[in-house]
Structure 1
Amino acid sequence: MNKSCTCPAHSNARAVQRLQHQHQHQHHHTDKCQHDHGKSVSGNDDHEYAFEMASSTLRFGEGVTREVGQDLVNMGAKKVLVMTDPNIAKLPVMKTVIESLQKSQVNFVVYDRTRAEPTDKSFWEAIEFTKKHKPDVFVAVGGGSVMDTCKAANLYSNYPDAELLEFVNAPIGKGAIIGKDLSPLIAIPTTAGTGSETTGTAIFDYEPLHVKTGIASRKLRPTLGIVDPHNTITMPAQVKLASGLDVLCHALESYTALPYTERTPRPKNPAERPAYQGSNPISDIWSLEGLRLTVKYLKRSVEDPSDLEANAQMCLAAAAAGTGFGSAGVHLCHGMSYPISGLNKTYKHPGYNVDHSIVPHGISVAVTAPAVFRYTGEACPDRHFKAAEIFGANPNSAAFRSQKPENAGPILAEQLTEFLEGLGVPSGLEALGYSRKDIPALVQGTLPQHRVTKLAPLTTGAEALERIFEDALKNY
């Protein structure tokens, strides 16, 4: 492998330094990888041969929130739990929801104490409230934290005797299969980011281990997602930024995930086929469209809250990327983000009206993205080149035209770095308060995230994670 790169895409000093660093470590990794674990699972008769595409019903339109009352009447709802957080409770979207329910004479109760970046404790508080009130339909009004909390409340109210870890992903939890249909849930997102209105995942901080984990099942998917661009206008700029960065990584990770045909073992029972199945022909379409829209509209939506077109297009981007990763799954950026958020003690991101330290989820996935895709490039170079072109990489450059696998990761990483720097994203782990001495703990917090890390296009052990974290300490 070449030790340096002189292509036009990397002619600036920072890029050359990055490439030299990457090639030194990548050369070592390639030899090690082939010896220890190879690029992907192969030579196994138990390969998966099928994928499923499942997503919530979505309704998109400006002002469509006001239809929720009639939706609940149509569902025959007898008692509705409306879940939100203390900030959203004061915003126009909640007024619209409440007025719609009152107009349709829907019986409801409000829970407005969900936590930004929820924990096992905040999940359980919402679950206990739900068990007390026994709703038959749920409405989640908020960002991913609210929607995920509402999914958990729905699940455990239908399994009232289950402990929290019963359905939490292994190895942190028991990973039990959700065997029955849950109550209807209408999700009304107020951010353009998580795509939680389309997916069957619920993520939280498991405080005893200082790490994020979650629950994943198609049964958790909302019955209906009401996507109304009007609801994102009041988002603070930094919340828009973090939400949009989550979309960005959803799209990139699902597009570059391990192909579904390389995943093992094939389930003996179709019901055991995981929600995250690996990249597939249908998820690719949604992921690429989510990426294109995010690259085009995220900066506009952050810089000008009144830009209705940018707001609407980012709502579409979130739903598209959510549909893509809801089938394909995500991989290293997300797996590594969980300990970044979970181990944080002091960093509090600006623009978040909370009383605790917080690394917003979108920030925690984005800071490692350049390092991650520098690492994964050789596993599926065509996809990394394609993504880089969407960011604006010159397809006529010598490095691009050569299509050499060793160029793909660095080219995409450089495009990502420029994109993140242009948005004012914290420049890496050091900007969040981490240093080299924290890397062992970050690695240990990533290793249990099997649900996502196993979908990386390269099987990634502790040594590789250590190098990626080190590469992500400072991006620019």
Structure 2
Amino acid sequence: MALNPYFMPTDGGDTAFTVEAPKIKFGYGALEEVGGDAKALGMTRVALFADPKTADLPGMETLTASLEAAGMHVTVYQDLEVEPTDRSFKAAADFAAAGNFDGYVSFGGGSTMDTAKAANLYASYPDDFLAYVNAPIGAAKPVPGPLAPHIACPTTFGTASECTGIAIFDLLEMEAKTGIANARLRPALGVLDPSVLESLPPPVIAANGFDVFSHAFESLTARPYTQRPKADDPQKRPLSQGANPYSDLACQEAIRLVGDHLVRAVNDPRKEDYEALMFAGMLAGIGFGNAGCHVPHAMSYAVAGLVEDYVPEGWATNEPMVPHGISVIVNSPAVFRYTGKACPERHLMGAKAMGADVKGLDPRKAGDALADRIIEMMKATGMPNGLSGVGYGEADVPRLVSKAAPQRRLLDNAPRPVHEAELTDLFTGALRYW
């Protein structure tokens, strides 16, 4: 793929990008091989993270049998929170520190995989909890050395946590969502078996699919790596280095697969839809694991963190929460109308890949075309009508802005400047779409 002007260096900008490629096993039956994978990684005493909901899935029995057949001593940890908090991360770290484990296996969604990452980190290198947390909330201390091997086995396809060195959680005292980002958190192996998706309720499929799309499209339209200031030390180049030719390849195909398969997977699924969407989630993970997301994800942390009374359909909870994929996609149409001017050709490509008719379309309208197509798909898959659909109104906008504004790691990765004034407009524009 030839570099285009989007990647031409600017004064003071970086001139190189780093490829961080995850190790992945993909395909039906992949869970049956995890025991052999764990043995190859030197594991003997395994902490198996699985929340009570996923522990009842058929794949859990397959996974456990495979580990035990390979001679692993397995201890199951289930004291997880669906949306992790500093409280649940600390509890998991205490469990890991007391267990003398030499390996970790996670079976679940992003919450489960992220909790296993955090437990592995704090058990391996104990420190003040905020030491490793992203700045400005934490000190963003680099992880001092290698972690114990971790095999991540997703039961969803949206988070792509098996591909990334990122662990996200809610910091309860600040009512803010933040995370830990370091390449050493990336699992030693991600095992993706599409059969696990067959038991997911349609709303979960829809939310996961839109999360995949937003991962991929945010990474495709992120500020190019050549426009990010060059680090004095190349070892300090961030994970979210900006759009680059490597991430572009993965993101473009992920968007196409979501456009082709998501609506049918929600309403009339076939086996090939599950396989395509899980593969799309993996590709998007590779993309944003190297390029980084931007504004919709920054806004999503506020949406998820401030929820008061929205209880999602399809999730095993009676507690108020906005699932991650929903908290992202309710913002995305408003954001992409705004970012369309920065890189119209990329927005045009995204609209076409998602199924919009863009023949003869003025590129200056590409952001609107993409937003309109996302809204059509949201309606077709039963997603909430913007922020109003998850319980927010105009009076909540200042509070949402105040919680999103500190997410500079994400906001500074956007192709256009985004500060409090822009966030106010974007949250207002995201209140309702139809």
Bin the TM-score by the shorter chain.
over 0.9
The alpha-carbon deviation at position 254 of structure 1 amounts to 0.5
Give me the whole-angstrom Cα distance separating, in 1, the residues matched to 2:264 and 2:91: 38
Match of residue 138 from structure 1: 104
Matched, 1:460 2:418: yes
* Alignment check: 8 A CA contact 1:201 1:216 kept: yes
Give the letter for the 1:270 counterpart: P
Give me the whole-angstrom Cα distance separating, in 1, the residues matched to 2:266 and 2:79: 27
Task: Select which of 283, 290, 302 maps to 1:320.
Answer: 283
The alpha-carbon deviation at position 303 of structure 1 amounts to 2.2
Matched, 1:257 2:222: yes
Give me the whole-angstrom Cα distance separating, in 2, the residues matched to 1:198 and 1:89: 22
The alpha-carbon deviation at position 248 of structure 1 amounts to 1.0
Structure 1 residues not aligned, in runs of 5+: 1-39
Q: Give per-residue Cα distances to partners, 1:159-186, cap 9 Å, x unaligned.
A: 12x1211111001111111131111110
* Alignment check: 8 A CA contact 1:177 1:272 kept: no
The alpha-carbon deviation at position 44 of structure 1 amounts to 6.9
Give the letter for the 2:147 counterpart: L
The alpha-carbon deviation at position 354 of structure 1 amounts to 1.9
Task: Select which of 146, 150, 157 maps to 1:192.
Answer: 157
Match of residue 57 from structure 1: 23
Give me the whole-angstrom Cα distance separating, in 2, the residues matched to 1:164 and 1:240: 33
The alpha-carbon deviation at position 361 of structure 1 amounts to 0.2
Higher alpha-carbon deviation: 106-115 or 338-347: 106-115
Give me the whole-angstrom Cα distance separating, in 2, the residues matched to 1:300 and 1:46: 46
Match of residue 70 from structure 2: 104
Matched, 1:170 2:135: yes
Give me the whole-angstrom Cα distance separating, in 2, the residues matched to 1:108 and 1:415: 47
Match of residue 425 from structure 1: 383
* Alignment check: 8 A CA contact 2:9 2:227 kept: no
Matched, 1:73 2:31: no
- TM-score norm. by structure 2 comes to 0.96
Give me the whole-angstrom Cα distance separating, in 2, the residues matched to 1:270 and 1:156: 26
Q: Give per-residue Cα distances to partners, 1:353-396, cap 9 Å, x unaligned.
A: 12421100000000011100000010111111111111233232
Give me the whole-angstrom Cα distance separating, in 1, the residues matched to 2:31 and 2:76: 17
* Alignment check: 8 A CA contact 2:263 2:377 kept: no
Task: Select which of 192, 203, 213 maps to 1:238.
Answer: 203
In percent, how many aligned pairs have the same letter?
43
Give the letter for the 2:372 counterpart: E
Match of residue 32 from structure 1: none
Give me the whole-angstrom Cα distance separating, in 1, the residues matched to 2:26 and 2:393: 43
Match of residue 336 from structure 2: 373
Higher alpha-carbon deviation: 346-355 or 372-381: 346-355
Match of residue 410 from structure 1: 368
Task: Select which of 268, 272, 286 maps to 2:232.
Answer: 268
Give me the whole-angstrom Cα distance separating, in 2, the residues matched to 1:356 and 1:320: 32
CA 1:114–1:304: 2 relative to 1, 3 Å: farther
Where does structure 1 differ by over 4 angstroms across 4 or more consecutive aligned residues?
Answer: none
- TM-score norm. by structure 1 comes to 0.88
CA 1:43–1:273: 2 relative to 1, 3 Å: closer
Match of residue 390 from structure 1: 353
* Alignment check: 8 A CA contact 1:82 1:139 kept: yes
Q: CA RMSD in A?
A: 1.5
Task: Select which of 288, 303, 315 maps to 2:267.
Answer: 303
Match of residue 249 from structure 2: 285
Give me the whole-angstrom Cα distance separating, in 2, the residues matched to 1:438 and 1:107: 50
The alpha-carbon deviation at position 46 of structure 1 amounts to 2.6
* Alignment check: 8 A CA contact 2:203 2:383 kept: no
* Alignment check: 8 A CA contact 2:9 2:15 kept: no
Give me the whole-angstrom Cα distance separating, in 2, the residues matched to 1:133 and 1:449: 34
The alpha-carbon deviation at position 341 of structure 1 amounts to 0.2
Match of residue 212 from structure 1: 177
Q: Give per-residue Cα distances to partners, 1:418-472, cap 9 Å, x unaligned.
A: 1211111101111111111111111111111111111110011111110010000
Matched, 1:473 2:431: yes
The alpha-carbon deviation at position 295 of structure 1 amounts to 1.0
Give the letter for the 2:274 counterpart: N
Q: Give per-residue Cα distances to partners, 1:211-260, cap 9 Å, x unaligned.
A: 11001111110100111011111112221111111101001101111111
Structure 2 residues not aligned, in runs of 5+: 1-5
Match of residue 190 from structure 2: 225
Give me the whole-angstrom Cα distance separating, in 2, the residues matched to 1:444 and 1:284: 32
* Alignment check: 8 A CA contact 2:151 2:189 kept: yes
SS in structure 2 opposite 1:139? strand
Give the letter for the 2:265 counterpart: S
* Alignment check: 8 A CA contact 2:50 2:107 kept: yes
Give me the whole-angstrom Cα distance separating, in 2, the residues matched to 1:46 and 1:175: 24
Match of residue 13 from structure 2: 47
Give the letter for the 1:68 counterpart: V
